[in-house]
Amino acid sequence: MKLYCLSGHPTLPCNVLKFKSTTIMLDCGLDMTSTLNFLPLPLVQSPRLSSLPGWSLKDGNAFLDKTELIDLSTVDVILISNYHCMMALPYITEHTGFTGTVYATEPTVQIGRLLMEELVNFIERVPKAQSASLWKNKDIQRLLPSPLKDAVEVSTWRRCYTMQEVNSALSKIQLVGYSQKIELFGAVQVTPLSSGYALGSSNWIIQSHYEKVSYVSGSSLLTTHPQPMDQASLKNSDVLVLTGLTQIPTANPDGMVGEFCSNLALTVRNGGNVLVPCYPSGVIYDLLECLYQYIDSAGLSSVPLYFISPVANSSLEFSQIFAEWLCHNKQSKVYLPEPPFPHAELIQTNKLKHYPSIHGDFSNDFRQPCVVFTGHPSLRFGDVVHFMELWGKSSLNTVIFTEPDFSYLEALAPYQPLAMKCIYCPIDTRLNFIQVSKLLKEVQPLHVVCPEQYTQPPPAQSHRMDLMIDCQPPAMSYRRAEVLALPFKRRYEKIEIMPELADSLVPMEIKPGISLATVSAVLHTKDNKHLLQPPPRPAQPTSGKKRKRVSDDVPDCKVLKPLLSGSIPVEQFVQTLEKHGFSDIKVEDTAKGHIVLLQEAETLIQIEEDSTHIICDNDEMLRVRLRDLVLKFLQKF
């Protein structure tokens, strides 16, 4: 069993597991941090940005895939854990010869579609007159300024996919539900479990009859809007692959939400605007819920909230219809009936308005001061670029970063000098190291496998030994472009036996409580399932010389000698030999047993724990006679 690591980003994993002749890809995250190397794509032409020499972003979306490590066309299935970990799916399904099946829950697919659709829309609505790719040549790249000259494997960076490729990739997905068991070629069974992180997010159990691998990616033990994490099903794992932990282990999500609300209120009271760069799904639901409870008590009920995204309407509606994927508290509201999320009431009272872009209706309705939620968190494309240019020159305004995926200092770099205030309130509800330690003690896997980054403290906090995975035995680590042999071997295989064959077995007790029976059968294997069938009856002779078809061939069934069990007591055996006329018998002890010498007959009988040998010179009648005497002390079955 081997694990191939194709991603260097622990929260955007892409691993391939080879297990029982099945090749399974675990997630296909898209690392987009390389976009920070590029200038923003403004929706409205910016004199400041257009006067600078720029690169085309369409050459800069990173898909860091080590394709020479493994042929991706050999992948049988892809298991998706959450919608953030499927953003590279079109690159794999449309460009590698992949012909397998993708498994994911319905909310993961629908919200993943929205994220991809938003990304494609952001890129395609700002077309470039020309694109450059010569800079990817290594000889030219080293002449570029940092960080481009230091970027790794820029030749593997890809243009953003199209909606046609997105639709084609999503058509290969098969929807699954929590605890649903899916057979893969009869070899292994995979089961998604609730991970508690996002709508439809899953951990996966990959098991055969005697081995169990758990894949834990992007999980949360906090009480937010998704179903709680299923921990019990992770118990008794041979190997637990752990990835997708929090990116900010020292920050408390509840504290960050409180800081978000207080900074937002302070800015609006002073007449400023608040910009929140965010994804169109996920944390935004929790932020809107907190604001719903906060704005009235803070006297901000007249301040408009704007959610601007090409998929804003779909995202808000989807969150209300996936009731069965929500926590129990929100599920119960559906039966009242009430909308599970309070942003429905915010929309009804016109406190929250959503728009596909800054054009059209938004231009007419826009009033300040206000709060704007929009994308992209990298500040490199999307409507957020326009608001950064619009509000950046005033110190009354504030940009609040809640997504931890991008360095906010690097994200702000192209907009400097910047007068607006910048607040960093990263909200990441995924497992921290304290929660991981508690989880591992409860589920007790035999082996833990995780990215290298989790086995040592962060470089900036090398003294914090609590910011790493601590378990016994120590976790096995992997890094990008590495192949890891998982530390256990398959020892057993399940074989079924046909009823008529089972009925013919006659067990014999060889020790108290232990019975054995010999089986003569044909082993039939198909689709990784094994079946013992009764041996074929001897073929009846047929007249004529009719040629037999290959399919008529059946295995020869030889008559097997009976198996023997038991031990030979030497003293009793010698007495038996004397009764049958043998004399001058001598017994010698050896390291493995005894040797009985019949000096008169020039014969040697070697008795060991698991075998008995009769050695005599060319006297077959004597050998057979001695053999029969030996068999009297043994059981046949």
Is the pLDDT score of 235 beyond 90?
yes
Number of Cβ atoms within 10 Å of the Cβ of 522: 15
Report the candidate in 377, 354, 368 with the shortest Cα–Cα distance to residue 397.
368
Is the pLDDT score of 4 beyond 70?
yes
Q: What angle do CA 251, 252, 258 make, to 5 degrees?
A: 110
Q: 3-state SS of 225-265?
A: CECCCCCHHHCCCCEEEEECCCCCCCCCHHHHHHHHHHHHH
In the predicted model, what is the mean pLDDT of residues 432-448? 93
* Residue 37 and residue 154 in contact, taking contact as beta carbons nearer than 8 Å: no
The pLDDT, as a whole number, for residue 129 is: 64
Task: Give me the percent of the chain exceeding a pLDDT of 90.
Answer: 44
Q: Can you say how many angstroms the Cα of residue 223 is from the centroid of all Cα atoms in its chain?
A: 23
User: Judging by beta carbons within 10 Å of its beta carbon (0-12, 13-18, 19+), is residue 49 exposed, middle or buried?
Assistant: middle
Length of the chain: 637
The pLDDT, as a whole number, for residue 438 is: 93
The pLDDT, as a whole number, for residue 49 is: 67
Could you give the CA distance from residue 246 to residue 219 in angstroms, rounded to a whole number? 9
In the predicted model, what is the mean pLDDT of residues 345-365? 89
Report the candidate in 518, 523, 521 with the shortest Cα–Cα distance to residue 561.
518
The pLDDT, as a whole number, for residue 363 is: 86
Give 52-71 pLDDT, tens digit per residue. 654 443 333 333 344 457 88
Question: Helices in 352-466 by DSSP H: which ranges?
Answer: 361-365, 384-391, 408-412, 433-443
The pLDDT, as a whole number, for residue 342 is: 85
In the predicted model, what is the mean pLDDT of residues 87-114? 94
Q: What angle do CA 225, 230, 231 make, to 5 degrees?
A: 130
**Cα separations (Å) of 129 from 57, 306, 450?**
12, 32, 44
Looking at the DSSP assignment, which residues form a beta bridge with residue 275?
372, 399
Is the pLDDT score of 498 beyond 60?
yes
Looking at the DSSP assignment, which residues form a beta bridge with residue 2?
18, 485
Delimiting residues of CATH 3.30.310 domain(s) in the chain: 564-636
The pLDDT, as a whole number, for residue 511 is: 78
The pLDDT, as a whole number, for residue 544 is: 54
Is the pLDDT score of 241 beyond 70?
yes
* Residue 244 and residue 218 in contact, taking contact as beta carbons nearer than 8 Å: yes
Task: Give me the percent of the chain exceeding a pLDDT of 70.
Answer: 89
Give 594-619 pLDDT, tens digit per residue. 888 887 778 888 888 888 888 887 78
Number of Cβ atoms within 10 Å of the Cβ of 579: 9
Q: Which residues contact 459 (CB under 8 A, 6 or more apart)?
A: none
Who has greater pLDDT, 229 or 137? 229
Give 391-437 pLDDT, tens digit per residue. 999 999 999 999 999 999 999 998 988 999 999 999 999 999 999 99
- Tell me which H or E stretch contains 183: strand 182-184
Delimiting residues of CATH 3.60.15.10 domain(s) in the chain: 2-43+59-246+430-485
In the predicted model, what is the mean pLDDT of residues 357-381? 91
The pLDDT, as a whole number, for residue 242 is: 95
Q: What angle do CA 58, 63, 64 make, to 5 degrees?
A: 135
Who has greater pLDDT, 81 or 480? 81
Fold adopted by 253-424:
Rossmann fold (3.40.50)
In the predicted model, what is the mean pLDDT of residues 225-246? 93
Is the pLDDT score of 107 beyond 70?
yes
Who has greater pLDDT, 224 or 406? 406
Delimiting residues of CATH 3.40.50.10890 domain(s) in the chain: 253-424
CATH placement of domain 2-43+59-246+430-485:
3.60.15.10
Fold adopted by 564-636:
TATA-Binding Protein (3.30.310)
In the predicted model, what is the mean pLDDT of residues 571-594? 85
Is the pLDDT score of 109 beyond 70?
yes
The pLDDT, as a whole number, for residue 514 is: 86
Q: Which two tokens stand for residue 444?
A: 């007790």
Report the candidate in 234, 226, 291 with the shortest Cα–Cα distance to residue 258.
291
In the predicted model, what is the mean pLDDT of residues 76-89? 95
Average pLDDT of the residues of the chain = 86
DSSP annotation string for 485-526: E-S-------EEE-HHHHHT---EEEETTEEE-----EEEEE
In the predicted model, what is the mean pLDDT of residues 136-155? 69
